[in-house]
Each structure stands twice: as C-alpha cells, then as structure tokens.
Amino acid sequence: MKLNLSLFGIWIVLSVGLTAQGQEKVWLWSSGEMPFQNEEEAGTEKPALPSLQLYSTDGRDNHSGAAVVICPGGGYGGLAIDHEGHQPAKWFNEQGVSAFVLHYRLGSQGYHYPAQLADVQRAIRYVRAHAAEYGLDPNRIAVMGFSAGGHLASMAATLYDREVYEAQDAVDEVSARPDFAVLCYPVISMDGEITHSGSRRNLLGTEKAGDERLAASVSSEKNVTAETPPTFLFQTDADTAVPAENAVRFYLALRENGVSAELHCYQDGPHGVGLYRGDPVLGTWSGLLANWLRASSFFSPSQPRLPLQGVVTLDGEPVSWGMLTFYPENEHFPITSIRVRRGKFAAPADLGPVAGKARISFEGSIWESTGDPTDESVTLDSLSPEDESPVELELKPGMEQLTLDYVSE
C-alpha cells in the first residue's frame, strides 16, 4: 500500500522509509505533477521518478550542519550509484556532512534536457527548504557531481536561476543556487572537440544532439558568472573518456569571473575512479577536497578572522624563512598559515587566523642569515625542548602584535 503525504499544500512526497541500503528515500515530484513527464511512462506502475537517497548526520557527534547533493555519473544513460553515489555520501558522513544522492532522470528513459536541470534544481531546493528538519545550515549546501553528473552539478552551479519549470509549491520559492560546487572529472562542455559524445546525445536526445545552439546553451564554461559558487575540480590527465580540457575550461572561466576555485589534475588515472582510496597517489584527492572545504568555511559557518602581525626568532636569530600555522580548537574551523620572512610576519583580517583558542605550529630556518650548515629547517610545536607543552593562545580582537621566541635545542 502506498501512502501519499501532502507537504506545503500541493506538493506530494512518497516516503518509502528505509531502503535496502538502510537510507531514507524521498521522491522529488509526484507522478502526476512532475514536469517534462514522458508520455510513454505516464500512468505506468514504476515511472522514472527522481528521488533523493538521504544520508543524514543529524544527531551524530560530528554533525556540522553542512549538506551536499551528489549527482552520480553514467553518461546521462545510467547512474554509477555505488562508487559515485553511496561511497562519496559515506565519506561526507565521516566529515560530519549530510549527503543526498540524487537519482535524476536519464536519456535512456526517454528524458532529455531540461528534465535533468529541473531535477537538480528541485533537489537543492528540497534540501534548503527542509534544512531545519535535518539540522542543516541553508547557507552551506554544496552540489557534487562525477562525469556526466559533474555536468549536471555544473549546470546547477551556473544555471540555478534558469526557469525551466513552473513553481509547484513552497519548496520552489527557495533558492536553487548551491553555495559550493565539487566537480569530479566532469563533462563540462558540449563542444564536439572535447565533450563526451554519449553524454551529449543522452542529454539532448537523438533528434537535438546536433543542435549546436542548444549544445552551447548547456556548455557550462559559457555560463559562469561572478555569482557562480566557489568550486573544487578534480581530474586526471590520462582521462581519455572526458578530457581534462573540460575541467580546465571551467576553471579558467571561474578565474576570469573572479570566483574562488581549486583545480587538481593528476597525471595518471582512468576515467570514473570515484574515491579510489586504495591508490596511494590518486586516492589523496578526497583529502585535498576536505582541506578545501574546511578552508572555505563549509564545515562551519564563516568565522570572524583577525589581523595579526609580529616577530619570530629561532635560537636567538630572526627567522629568515618560515611559517606559523594556527589550528583552531574547533576542528571544523579553517586552519590558517602565515609566512615568516626576515623575522616578521603579517596578515590582514581577511587572511588572518580565526578568533578563539588555537594551537600554533612553527616551521622555519635561520640558515639564510647564519650560513651555518647545521641550521636546517625545523618544525616545532613548543617554544623549547625544556617545555614540551604546545603553544596555545586565545586569539582576540586587538591582539595585533605577537612575539614568539623558539629554541630548537
């Protein structure tokens, strides 16, 4: 027996409780009100209804209040739901982030653009509209995509305000703009020289696959603006299915529009690797992503930063080269490193450490000034060997001058 629940007046959500994977599932649309309904599927017993698989961290000790909508790849013809859906969702849960895996409509089911864009817009709106229910911050919602799912995520990041369907209810009154985007070996362009031809054909449909004007309108590198959210891109140079030019073009478009971005292009690795955690080189990309998300204030609301300057000595000499790294007590807050040159350091407020209690780590050298071959670069967490307690400070407004005297031996 199916139970229909009415949310926000006219929006119908079918809840099926726990699935075989042990995750709650919700439908994005009711079968009678889904935009771009395939007439061949309308009224069938199992229509291709887009859904979200929920991996919530609400109630867990590491719950950060952040969320991500994940779009698995599959060339718009299938869904790589395990290594590009379930596994990344579990990884995000490890970081304290609630994940929502999007099962969007496919070209192989007879659905073509703009049905997929409607699905991802609705998914982001659903998460934002239900933020209080899942203990989420509506201003820290990311979209992530792999391969063709990366194209869908890039459309979400660039075409969030393109009206492709009529609003149905209160869910559609909230913004579809993601606050961050994570694109993994993404299909970006529909340019025939670099696109994945199968993705283009499945997205646009056989009859429109040759329509260059339509293809250009969904080539995401052409749709970047200054309002596109900060983006992390991961790619391999060896990828022949979706060439690195896709990610590179998008990265350059972000730079041109002044959007914060980070691109990692590994030399080796095939297409479609997912997390690939068993590979000692390629498997490091998720750690780089975690670093970027933390630095971008995704794991926590943006915290006030402080301007800071000061003097650093090592064994009585001004540090010729080095850095101070501030580790906030709250593991979700951004880590800040400040370079030391000729014994001094300085950081403006926007690049300074987060206010609050922090541990300070030092790396540096005085070799440049002493010329002594024994003066090699050292890493120190305490001020001297006699006192091994870590250097910890309560960073407060007005503390603009700091003096640290390190002893290495």
Domain ranges of the chain: 15-295, 308-406
Outline where 61-177 has alpha helix (H): 87-94, 115-129, 131-134, 148-158
pLDDT at 14: 35
Using the structure block, give the residue that is written with the tokens 């969702």: 89
At residue 45, the pLDDT reads: 56
Conformational region of residue 238, where left means phi above 0, alpha means psi within -120 to 50, and beta covers everything else: alpha
Q: Is 76 left (phi over 0), alpha (psi -120 to 50) or beta?
A: left
CA 143-149-154 angle, to 5 degrees, is 55
Q: What is the pTM of this model?
A: 0.92
How many other C-beta atoms lie within 10 A of the C-beta of residue 387? 10
Average pLDDT for residues 96-121, to the nearest whole number?
97
| Residue-level pLDDT at 257 | 98
pLDDT at 227: 98
Would you state the structure tokens that stand for residue 277, as one six-digit string? 């955690």
Half-sphere exposure of 246 (CA within 13 A, CB side): 34
Q: Is the pLDDT of residue 222 over 90?
A: yes
Instruction: Give the pLDDT band (50/70/90) at residue 150.
Output: very high
pLDDT at 260 over 80: yes
pLDDT at residue 1 greater than cutoff 70:
no
Give the model confidence (pLDDT) of 32-53 as tens digits.
688 998 866 655 555 678 999 9
Q: What is the pLDDT of residues 166-175, one digit of tens each?
A: 999 999 999 9
Fold (topology level) of 308-406: Immunoglobulin-like (2.60.40)
Fold held by 15-295: Rossmann fold (3.40.50)
pLDDT at 7: 34
* Amino acid residing at 345: F
Question: Residue 225: its pLDDT value, please?
Answer: 98
374 versus 256: the higher-pLDDT residue is 256
Distance CA 369, CA 341 (A): 11
Per-residue confidence (pLDDT) for residue 96, from 0 to 100: 97
Q: Are strands 11-18 and 308-314 parallel, antiparallel or unpaired?
A: unpaired
CA nearest 65: which of 330, 332, 259? Answer: 332
The reported pLDDT for the residue numbered 378 is 96
Of 7-16, 65-74, 79-88, 189-198, the one with minimum mean pLDDT is 7-16
pLDDT at 400: 78
pLDDT exceeds cutoff 50 at 12: no
pLDDT at 405 over 80: yes
Asked whether the beta carbons of 66 and 140 are under 8 A apart, the reply is yes
Q: Please give the pLDDT value at position 42.
A: 55
- Helix orientation angle between 197-204 and 148-158, rounded to the nearest 10 degrees: 60
What residue has token string 């090592």?
314
In the chain, % of residues over pLDDT 70: 92
Strand order in the sheet with 51-55: 4-7, 11-18, 24-27, 51-55, 98-103, 67-71, 141-146, 180-184, 231-236, 261-266
pLDDT, residue 30, reads: 72
Between these two residues, 211 and 31, which has the higher pLDDT value?
211
Q: How far apart are CA 349 and CA 345, in angstroms?
A: 13
Q: What is the mean pLDDT of the chain?
A: 92
pLDDT in tens, 270-294: 999 999 999 999 999 999 999 999 9
Q: Label residue 215 by pLDDT band (50, 70, 90).
A: very high
Q: What is the pLDDT of residues 116-146, one digit of tens each?
A: 999 999 999 999 999 999 999 999 999 999 9
pLDDT of 100 > 60? The answer is: yes
**pLDDT for 31:** 62
- Strand-pairing partners, residue 7, are 11
